[in-house]
Amino acid sequence: MNIVVCVKHIPDPNLPAEMDGKTLKREGVQGVMDPGDEFGVEAGLQIKERLATGDGESGEGEVTLVSMGPAAAMEAVRRGLSMGADKGVLVSDDVLKGSDALATAKVLSAAIQKNGAFDLVIAGVESTDGYTGTLPGTLAEFLGVPHVSTVKEIVSADGGTLKVNRQTADGYHVVEVGLPAVISVTAGVNEPRYASFKGIMAAKKKPVEQLSLSDLDLSGDDVAVKQEVTELSKAEEREGGEIIEDDGSAAAKIADFLKEAKVI
């Protein structure tokens, strides 16, 4: 099975965000692979290992990482390779600076198709820096394949069919989908493995193809930004909660509060 995992290089979310005008500053700041994408990489590796024969280390097909970003985004690709992915593809072009989710999906879909036939594309539910949550579905539309969102468990992947549990507000749905397909996975889908020293060293020798827009037969007009940030404002600080003194009526007051909040 040929599995593609989308990964993104973002400013370290553990550090204070820096702005470049009305957009997030990305150059000259500490960057990391989006933490949400680690679950996607792990999901791809686990599927490959399930299909493996013998000792479970060599499987059918491969896991390819696809990313879009400046040269520094290679760090995210190498991170995924050190976890065990087989190869990477990085699309980097000055024209792509400031791209919106639509342009990003268009570029990633072109890179995936150029890489060759695929069975499954895995992405995080949403990026930690953008939070649009629209890319996986848009990517599936460009690729012309079905999309299953918010996957919390991958039950099986064989015989050209993927079976998953899809998280919902009330529990989960059991979904079977024919391959090829795109899925977006939640943070609860697995526990990402740590990259070993051996894996880090091996990642340096794994192939990474670097592409520009022209390599994908795309022009600047094809990826023109159609979204605009018009205003920035600080988020309101969280207010302190209400303290209820137990004078014999605390239980009733708490029950009334929960009813008002529609929790009970």
Establish how many alpha carbons lie within 13 A of residue 185's alpha carbon, considering only the half-sphere containing its beta carbon: 28
Domain assignment present for residue 253? The answer is no
> Which residues, including other chains, have CB under 8 Å from residue 245's CB and lie 6 or more apart?
none
Mean pLDDT calculated for residue range 161-187: 97
- Number of separate domains in the chain: 1
For the beta carbon of residue 85, count every other beta carbon within 10 angstroms. 26
Q: How is residue 225 written in tokens?
A: 């930004």
For 155, the domain range is: 2-216
- Whether 24 has a pLDDT exceeding 80, the answer reads yes
Model pLDDT, residue 37: 97
- Whether 141 has a pLDDT exceeding 50, the answer reads yes
For the beta carbon of residue 170, count every other beta carbon within 10 angstroms. 6
Render pLDDT for 43-65 as a digit per residue (tens, 0 to 9): 999 999 998 854 444 456 899 99
Domain assignment present for residue 171? The answer is yes
Classify strands 161-168 and 171-178 as parallel, antiparallel or unpaired.
Answer: antiparallel
Rounded Cα distance, 259 and 119, in Å: 47
Model pLDDT, residue 56: 42
Domain assignment present for residue 258? The answer is no
Rounded Cα distance, 123 and 145, in Å: 14
Domain assignment present for residue 231? The answer is no
CATH at residue 149: 3.40.50.620
Q: Is 149 helix (H, G, I), strand (E, B) or coil?
A: strand
- Whether 208 has a pLDDT exceeding 50, the answer reads yes
Domain assignment present for residue 234? The answer is no
Model pLDDT, residue 163: 97
Which range (56-70, 90-104, 243-257) has the least confidence? 56-70
Model pLDDT, residue 53: 58
Model pLDDT, residue 55: 45
Does pTM surpass 0.95? no
- Average pLDDT over the chain, rounded to whole? 92
Confidence of residue 211 (pLDDT cuts 50, 70, 90): very high
Q: Is 78 helix (H, G, I), strand (E, B) or coil?
A: helix
> Which residues, including other chains, have CB under 8 Å from residue 17's CB and lie 6 or more apart?
11, 24, 25
Domain assignment present for residue 252? The answer is no
To which residue do tokens 């895995």 refer? 122
Render pLDDT for 217-240 as a digit per residue (tens, 0 to 9): 999 999 999 888 888 888 788 777
Render pLDDT for 106-128 as a digit per residue (tens, 0 to 9): 999 999 999 999 999 999 999 99
Domain assignment present for residue 228? The answer is no
Domain assignment present for residue 9? The answer is yes
